[in-house]
Structure 1
Amino acid sequence: MSRRRVRPEELELWQQVARTAQRIRPEEPPRERAAGPEPMIRNPRSAPALPRLEDFQVGQTAGRAAPPHDVLPGISERVAAAPIHMDKKAFQRLKRGKLVPEGKIDLHGMTLDQAHPALMGFILRSYAAGLRLVLVVTGKGKDRDTGGPIPVRHGVLRHNVPQWLRMAPLGPLVLQITEAHLKHGGGGAYYVYLRRQR
């Protein structure tokens, strides 16, 4: 904003306004005006009282554990948390490793591009043959995280197989997916319980 000189008629008008103005608080003595713009002062009677802060010590909450940053549970927890769609007694026997798989596929060493069609073909053939329980071995996976800014999941096949089994065309054929018992591979394998043929 450019500054310009005040013209004499403007100064006369301002002095006329200043003579006719009345003070807001006549009981207070007039203050000496400092050079520069007048600071904004709130009315102390209208200002709300600030709440008193509680006593505290610096660092008193430092010993508390930080909340976990992993918002997505691990694959084992997600598979275990899935609802049970099969007979509960048969499911308990399955979890204890009492049921013997009728078929098995080993996806060790395959890439995602190789494993997906192999799994689809195996499940479709098993369903067509009337098999009920099959074992899908994925392995626990290698730790390929290089420490970059984007973390890499441990065991890519292990994470993708449950998703593939829930998607079409395999989803309608699969009744239950659960981690295998230790004698059948533990966390590196899945029991896939198929529906009966209609």
Structure 2
Amino acid sequence: MAAKRRLTDDELALWQAVAKSVTPLKRKRVKKPPADKGIGGEDAPPPESKVAPAKAPPGKRPKVAKGPPPNPAPVVAAPKPAPLLTPTPIPGAMPGIDKRQGERFRRGQLPIEGKIDLHGRTQAEAHDALQHFIERAYKAGKRQLLVITGKGMTQSKSGILKTNVPRWLNEPAMRRLILAISQARPEHGGEGALYVLLKREK
């Protein structure tokens, strides 16, 4: 293999002169896609601001606009239930009746304008008969009535009616028409009868 030949002084000087006259080429930079471009070249939405909201200085609260207070809903009071009717009313404590009239009522001194005898009837028959009697008397404008139940005898119909009639008179259908009830005087049946005082028809 032939040995490499060395450059002569003239050749070396020529090469150095050529090398000095050559300008090096600049590298082309590859352009990157802009950061604000989305997929497909569409503009991406601007990034959300991460600046914290301004805080009110300590010791001071932000002012809130004051408007007129809302109108509260009107409170409707529930109607009071009618007091329970009892065969032994207290004079002066019967709503709708003054003390003098209440005393006369209890003593049987008011004229009796109607009477019903419930003897010998079943409870269902007695209940229906009593309700119809009260309603007819009210519509006719009558005031004091006499209801005969019979005295309380063990295992008798009279005893059952004596217990149930005051309860029936407190049922809404009849209670709305009645002012008061009271045990009758001996001459009108005593423990086996009741006075019933009706309201005036409106």
* Aligned counterparts of 2:108 and 2:179: Cα–Cα separation in 1: 18
Q: Which residue of 94, 116, 141 corresponds with 1:105?
A: 116
Matches within 5 A, 1:177-188: 177-188=181-192
Unaligned runs of 5+ in 1: 1-77, 146-152
* Aligned counterparts of 2:118 and 2:158: Cα–Cα separation in 1: 15
Query: Aligned partner of 1:88: which letter?
Result: K
Query: Aligned partner of 1:84: which letter?
Result: M
Q: Which residue of 105, 116, 120 corresponds with 2:131?
A: 120
Q: Give aligned pairs, total.
A: 114
Corresponding residue for residue 197 of structure 1: 201
Corresponding residue for residue 87 of structure 2: 79
**Does 1:172 pair with 2:176?**
yes
Which contiguous aligned blocks of 4+ residues in structure 1 show a shift greater than 4 angstroms?
none
* Aligned counterparts of 1:166 and 1:93: Cα–Cα separation in 2: 22
Using the aligned pairs only, state the percent identity.
46
* Aligned counterparts of 1:138 and 1:154: Cα–Cα separation in 2: 6
> What is the aligned-residue RMSD (CA, Å)?
2.0
Per-residue deviation, residues 134-192 of structure 1 (Å, max 9, x unmatched) = 110001133119xxxxxxx9811011111111112111001101101111111100000
Compute the TM-score of the two structures, normalised by the length of structure 2.
Answer: 0.53
Corresponding residue for residue 28 of structure 2: none
* Aligned counterparts of 1:81 and 1:100: Cα–Cα separation in 2: 19
User: CA separation of 1:87/1:107 partners in 2, compared to 1, >3 Å: closer, same or farther?
Assistant: same
Corresponding residue for residue 92 of structure 1: 103
**Is the CA contact (8 Å cut-off) linking 1:97 and 1:183 kept in structure 2?**
no
Compute the TM-score of the two structures, normalised by the length of structure 1.
Answer: 0.54
**Is the CA contact (8 Å cut-off) linking 1:176 and 1:192 kept in structure 2?**
yes
